[in-house]
Amino acid sequence: MARHCLSKGFTDFSAYNRTSSKLQPLLELGAKQMDSPRAVAENSDVVFTMVGFPSDVRDVILNSEKGVLTGLPKGGIIVDMTTSEPSLAVEISDAASSAGKFALDAPVSGGDVGARNGTLSVFVGGEQDVLERVKPILETFSGTIAHMGPAGCGQHTKAGNQVTICSNMIGMCEGLMYAHAAGLDLGTYLQAISKGAAASFSLTALGPRIIKGDLNPGFYVEHFVKDLGIAVQEAQRMKLGLPGLGLAHQLYLSLLACGDGRLGTQSLIRAIERLNSRKVC
The catalytic residue positions are: 158
Q: What are phi and psi of 263, to 5 degrees?
A: -85, 170
Q: How far is CA 278 from the centre of its chain?
A: 31
d(CA 237, CA 4): 38
Contact 148, 156 (CB under 8 A): yes
103 CB-side CA count, 13 A: 31
Residues 275/247, Cβ–Cβ less than 8 Å: no
Q: Mind giving me the DSSP string for 187-250? A: HHHHHHHTTTTT--HIIIIIHHHHHTT----SSBHHHHHHHHHHHHHHHHHTT---HHHHHHHH
How far apart, in whole angstroms, are the C-alpha atoms of residue 238 and residue 143? 31
**Exposed, middle or buried by CB within 10 Å (0-12, 13-18, 19+), for 277?**
exposed
Q: Which residues pair with 125 in a beta bridge?
A: 105, 149
